Amino acid sequence: MICVSVGNVSVGECISRLKGLDFAEVRLDTMDADPAAVKRIFSLPLRLIATCRPGSHTDAQRHELLVSAIGAGTSFVDIETEADPQFREAVIGAAREHRTQVILSYHNYRTTPHRRILRRTVADAFLSGAHIAKIACMVRRPADNLRLLELPGIRTYAGRIVVVGMGQAGRITRVASVFLGSPFTYASCGGDAPLAPGQISAGPLRAAMELIGHE
């Protein structure tokens, strides 16, 4: 399954781009959206992930936007594993109240850590309340891809680990991961600029998966 990332657009453009999609991630950190606009987006009858990465908003603002998305009916809310514990628990608490699935995501924009660290990060995510653990790391060499692609095969968490190899060298993980047990993979929207290093456009990614026989 492909999740299309939508961001760097206005609220109106976001809603327009979501039409016709089955599954999408909305990057609220790249948009100028207030809680009312967030409710418009996440009230759409689609399978959506609400994401608001740190940097452009305070934790208080991020909390308000994510909780608004949860209240409006988002299917998933994505929170960083490295987020402030109080912030993380508050969002997870709101998700539990609305039976929203929680994605706890780990990002390393420098390197892909040792296998032991990756597995501990996955285990910690589930202990913290994740329904899905997302591991996204910068890939520098082929062995990095192998360490990432091992993770979806952990039987204890079957079908609940999404892996992303960032950068040009990690693009293979965006196709291969779904064949190895990841519930979905991320793609950019149409001709939009990628929202993550190495992200592939949805059309070519779908064609590659169909060629191999996944979709």
Q: Which residues have a catalytic role annotated?
A: 107, 134
**What is the full DSSP assignment across the chain?**
-EEEEE-SS-HHHHHHHHTT-SEEEEEGGGS---HHHHHHHHTSSSEEEEE--TTSS-HHHHHHHHHHHHHHT-SEEEEETTS-HHHHHHHHHHHHHTT-EEEEEEEESS----HHHHHHHHHHHHHTT-SEEEEEEE--SHHHHHHHHHGGG-GGGTT-EEEEEESGGGHHHHHHHHHTT-S-EEEE-TTSPPSSTTPPBHHHHHHHHHHHT--
